[in-house]
Amino acid sequence: MSIDEALERLRTPEPIAFIDIRSRHHYVANHPVFAVNAPIDSLETHCDTLFGSESATALVIGDDELLTTWASHLITQKTNLQPKVIRGGFSAWEAAGLPTWGGEYTPSKAFGEWVEQTGSMSHISPLEAMKSPVHDQFDVRPLEEFNRFTLPGSRHCPTGRLGALKTQQTHLRVHCAGRTRGIIAAQTLVDLHFPATIQCISGGTQGWEIAGGTRQFNHPTEQVDLITSSEENSRAQVLIKKYHLPIFTATEEVAWLNESRDFRLLTVC
């Protein structure tokens, strides 16, 4: 498939798996925006985890024609995807002047930047945060990451639990290790109409160190106060009504399973 044909596919609303089979090192250095890395040396073991039983077109890009062809055959054998190799590989993508990105987790980072631009959350610089500490400062990363290091004065509360916080404080700050997760957490609280001034510490723990601060290592986990389950349910009902969120029941799940319908079940905890 040519670059132009691949672009036409990507512009359609149909589901597409865009797979970059180059090494993790080369992918992180630069890759097509929204391409998922499935390195050729581990593609076989990760096919099920990445693609499950979904049926869709798979656009395969790499830097070696022989390897991309082999990857295409493997994807055909191991998944329900219909692979199409992009002719010329990544070098052709770059030569065409198409968007590329360095780093990892590009889609979520792009989403975070969009949320920052379109949302109404507020930032506070690390220096300002150091000068005026608050009681309610939360590290929103998973517990394992929090236990490694965090900011002085931070307590652990992942973004998925922020809506259940119980506090009488008028100011609340959130952060992660960089930008994206802190931005998402702050905007989540704003969207929940949380009764406090919400601020995201710019740059998280990285920004804190760059500003001359020090991280806290092996920080003990301190219990945070949460509202009751009935209060939590009331808050949820308000949001469901406000944003017209569809409700999925266990009965519907059973029906979908009986229909052999493709779907993903995500457990939020």
pLDDT tens by residue, 38-74: 999 999 888 878 887 788 999 999 999 999 999 999 9
Whether residue 177 has pLDDT greater than 90: yes
Going along the chain from its start, the domains and CATH numbers come out as 3-101 (3.40.250.10), 109-228 (3.40.250.10)
**Residue 191: both structure tokens together:** 């969207």
What are the beta bridge partners of residue 155? Answer: 138
144: pLDDT confidence band, cut at 50, 70 and 90? Answer: very high
Which residues, other chains included, contact 97 with Cβ-Cβ below 8 Å and sequence gap of 6+? none
Amino acid at 254: V
pLDDT at 72: 96
Vertex 251, ends 246 and 254: CA angle to 5°?
Answer: 110
- Please check whether residue 185 is in contact with residue 159, taking contact to mean a CB–CB distance below 8 angstroms: yes
Measured CA to CA, the distance from residue 62 to residue 18 in angstroms comes to 11
Q: How far apart are CA 240 and CA 236, in angstroms?
A: 6
Question: How many whole angstroms separate alpha carbon 32 and alpha carbon 83?
Answer: 17
Kindly state the average pLDDT of the residues 158-165. 92
How far are the Cα atoms of 10, 50, 54, 219, 250 from residue 264, in angstroms, in the given order?
A: 22, 12, 10, 35, 14
- Helix %, strand %, coil % for the chain, to 5? 45, 15, 40
Helices (H), the chain: 3-10, 24-29, 43-51, 65-78, 89-95, 106-118, 126-131, 143-148, 180-191, 204-210, 229-242, 250-258
User: Given the structure tokens 């300002």, which residue do they identify?
Assistant: 128
Q: What is the largest CA-CA distance in the chain?
A: 62
pTM for the whole structure:
0.80
User: Which residues, at least 6 apart from 22, have a Cβ–Cβ distance to it below 8 Å?
Assistant: 31, 37, 39, 40, 61, 62, 63, 90
Any residues with CB less than 8 A from the CB of 110 and at least 6 apart, and which? 33
Which of the four pLDDT bands, split at 50, 70 and 90, describes residue 84? very high
Place 119 in a pLDDT band, splitting at 50, 70 and 90.
very high
pLDDT-based confidence at 24, cuts 50/70/90? very high
CA-CA distance, 240 to 136, in Å (whole number)? 27
